[in-house]
Structure 1
Amino acid sequence: MELEGKVAIVTGVSKGIGRATAEALLARGMAVAGWGRHAPQGLTHERFQFFECDVREEIAVAEALTNTLRELGPEIHVLVNNAGLGVAGPVDGFSSDDWRLMFDTNVHGTFYCAKAVLPQMKRQQLGHIINVASIAGTTGIENMAGYCASKFAVRGFSQSLFKEVRNDGIKVTCLYPGSTQTNFFDDIPGAQANDSMMQPQDIAGAIVYALETPFNFHIVDVEMRPLQPKK
């Protein structure tokens, strides 16, 4: 897809991969609607608008879409489902509230946002949905059962959705980043972000690459890992 002049929605835009993706899409000439609970500090651009949205609430998603269409025009070409979080802990000592929080954000939020934009993408017969999962969506990790379960769900959702909407000209790509230097590790005991990890800009670059593929094919799954991880 030629990105210049097109419209993208990026969730979880306040920092990390979401912010880096918004900046990369702006650099390609897109208009970007950033959805999140907090605005990205210092991100000002004539083609960027922030809309407060908690993706855990379907009503909030519907309101954000209405505001986006009013401000940026009637077409939505790209949705980047990036909003997500992780909480660590053993299953037998894990908070049920934290379990629900992860599924409400990582899984239900992805569903609400995709469901919201699909009618317009189908009218256009053109669109691309990017779901940011995690390497945790491909393998189990000790003390991360809830997070892994939520990202496995994103994987299943993505692979089902692409088969459902491909004949409408809509692409679906799921990314599985490994360790990325973001604030994700702030709340993970025993883990610390470091310079050997991938950078948010690396993930954003992969997203741009997937979006710019010619119309006749699409990239379904992308697994990314640091080349030389810190031992």
Structure 2
Amino acid sequence: MKTILITGASSGLGKAIGEYLFHKGYNVFGTSRHPEKVLNSPFPLLALDLNQPETIGRCVGKVIEIAGRIDVLVNNAGVGIMGPLEEIPGDEIRKHFETNLFGPVEVMKAVIPHMRRQGAGHIVNITSIAGYTGLPFRAAYSASKGALELLSEAIRMEVRPFGIKVCNLAPGEFATDIASRRYYTELSPASAYAEVYGRTLELINQQVSGGDDPVMVAYEIEKIINTPDPKIHYKVGPFLSKFSIVLKRILPDKTYEKMLMKHYRL
């Protein structure tokens, strides 16, 4: 069976993807910043920190040493960030892009030479439906995921002659622990955004806790990696999340913006 490397596989979507594919018989390797703290993973977890490039090279080298090849990379690891853009510290925005954009780029750069030598490989970059739309109080997150979408479109054409297939998978809202792990900007009660930010935050966290089963993402991953010529973009999640992308394409910009503001009660 195919050897699959999944970044960020100790929790959330990555864990769900890894467990599903492992039980389907795939040779799964996951990554975690602190694998020694994860005691219940059915598949091996290797140390990898997207903000420490040397750990990326060591991790990929270890998989090649053990399995001899990497057939599929699922670039899943990432973080969330919330807050009014005006009040998010600049260092936090830069750190966010290091993790959500530059980190996945470095993982691809480490894996692609091995896939090129094999003459085959699949890279699935986990983005987000939020990457298709600038969302209030999630500006940095939407921007990082949108950037990864466009970057994947470009690199897909660059590596296609070597038999390497690249695509994006954009999940909507799923019931994971992302809300407990994202960065939240702390506002003072005197902030001009305090009231509306609090309402929006409550709404977004409700959407996550009431989201779909993350195993749906795992189903989609398995279909993608067994598709000879995968599409460029895939979306998975609640109907309304996916339909919002359609609405953005067909509605006038200001109409769509008004719809979003009404949804978030701005």
On whether the aligned pair clears a TM of 0.5, the verdict is yes
| Distance in 2 between residues matched to 1:228 and 1:133, nearest whole Å | 17
Deviation at 1:70, TM superposition (A): 1.8
- 5+ residue gaps, structure 2, are 185-200, 242-262
Which digits, 9 at most, give the CA deviation of each residue in 1:152-207, with x for residues without a partner?
A: 11101111111111121111110111111111123463232556412211111111
Report 1:67-106 matches (<5 A).
Answer: 67-71=62-66, 73-106=67-100
Partner AA of 2:237 in structure 1: R
Which of 61, 64, 78 matches 1:66? 61
Partner residue, 2:27: 31
Per the alignment, do residues 41 and 202 of structure 1 end up closer, same or farther by CA in structure 2, a change over 3 Å counting?
farther
Give the Cα–Cα distance (whole angstroms) in 1 for the partners of residues 17 and 97 of structure 2: 23
User: Counterpart in 2 of 1:222?
Assistant: 234
Aligned-pair identity (%): 33
> 1:58, CA displacement in angstroms?
1.3
SS of equivalent to 1:59: helix
SS at match of 1:147: helix
Contact 2:10–2:41 (8 Å) recurs in 1: no
**Corresponding residue for 2:220?**
206
- 2:51 maps to amino acid: R
Q: 2: CA distance between counterparts of 1:50 and 1:225?
A: 27
Kindly report structure 1 stretches of 4+ aligned residues shifted beyond 6 Å.
Answer: none
Q: Which has the larger displacement, 112-121 or 188-197?
A: 188-197
- Matching of residue 152 in structure 1 with residue 146 in structure 2: yes
Q: Is residue 101 of structure 2 the alignment partner of residue 107 of structure 1?
A: yes
Alignment match of 2:124 (pick from 125, 130, 154): 130
Structure 1 residue 78: Cα displacement: 0.5
Alignment match of 1:184 (pick from 178, 184, 189): 178
Gaps of at least 5 residues in structure 1 are none
Kindly indicate whether the alpha-carbon contact (under 8 Å) linking 1:196 and 1:228 is maintained by their aligned counterparts in 2. Answer: no
- CA-to-aligned-CA distance 1:68-115 (integer Å, 9 cap, x gap): 2222x2211000000001110111111112212211111011101000
Cα offset, 1:148, TM superposition: 0.8
Any conservation in 2 of the 1:89–1:143 contact (CA below 8 Å)? yes
Q: Which amino acid aligns with 1:206?
A: E
- Contact (CA 8 Å) 1:7, 1:76: kept in 2 or not? yes
- Confirm or deny: 8 A CA contact 1:81 1:131 kept in the other structure: yes
- Pairwise CA distance, 1:30: 1.5
Amino acid corresponding to residue 200 of structure 1 in structure 2 = P
Task: Identify the residue that residue 14 of structure 2 maps to in structure 1.
Answer: 18
Structure number having the greater helix percentage? 2
Q: Find the aligned partners of 2:134 and 2:102 in 1 and give their Cα distance.
A: 21
CA RMSD of aligned residues (A): 1.7
